[in-house]
Structure 1
């Protein structure tokens, strides 16, 4: 199982790196918002792998809260960008 967890964390790290590049380079604000949302999901997935490796379920509510805050933040930011584009 250690090999599976190591490969999973390596793939999550690669995804986080590529997402960070999109976050920094993104030509539009919506690209950056999407990249930030994906980065939050990757972090939550990394936390889930940590929970699985250590068999400690005490962090699951924290993961749910981070995912919820990331979703609400992304939806709010996208709504604000859409309003700004409509008023141009």
Structure 2
């Protein structure tokens, strides 16, 4: 793998780590439940992107499957949390 690609992967992972730290701060200090739900959704998204970057770096397809599962569970949990925040119950 070339030096440019390795540097780009390292830079991307560093940016995602910094963004995830800022999202965790919002998750902890969020003034409302809606802020916490959106921060948790963004944290799932960052985890998916990190898995995709690692897949490119390690040249392994297993990471793509893990990223797909993270995206699936992130969407379902975000929908359930949004419904709970709006109505106070998940199952009607």
Q: Which runs of 4+ in 1 moved over 4 A?
A: none
- Kindly indicate whether structure 1 or structure 2 has the higher relative contact order, using CA contacts under 8 Å at least 6 residues apart: 1
The corresponding residue for 1:49 is: 53
Q: Which runs of 5+ in 1 are unaligned?
A: none
The corresponding residue for 2:27 is: 23
Q: Deviations over 1:25-46 (max 9, x none)?
A: 0001110010001001101111
Quick one: distance in 1 between partners of 2:69 and 2:10? 25
Task: State the Cα distance separating 1:2 from its structure 2 match.
Answer: 1.0
User: So what's the TM-score if we normalise by structure 1?
Assistant: 0.91
Quick one: distance in 2 between partners of 1:73 and 1:47? 19
Deviates more, 1:21-30 or 1:58-67: 58-67
Quick one: distance in 1 between partners of 2:51 and 2:66? 9
Q: Which runs of 5+ in 2 are unaligned?
A: none
Q: Which has the higher helix share?
A: 1
Whether the aligned pair in 1 keeps the contact of 2:23 and 2:43 (CA below 8 Å) is: yes
Quick one: distance in 2 between partners of 1:47 and 1:58? 9
Quick one: distance in 2 between partners of 1:21 and 1:28? 13
Quick one: distance in 2 between partners of 1:70 and 1:28? 20
Number of residue pairs the alignment of both structures matches: 84
The corresponding residue for 2:16 is: 12
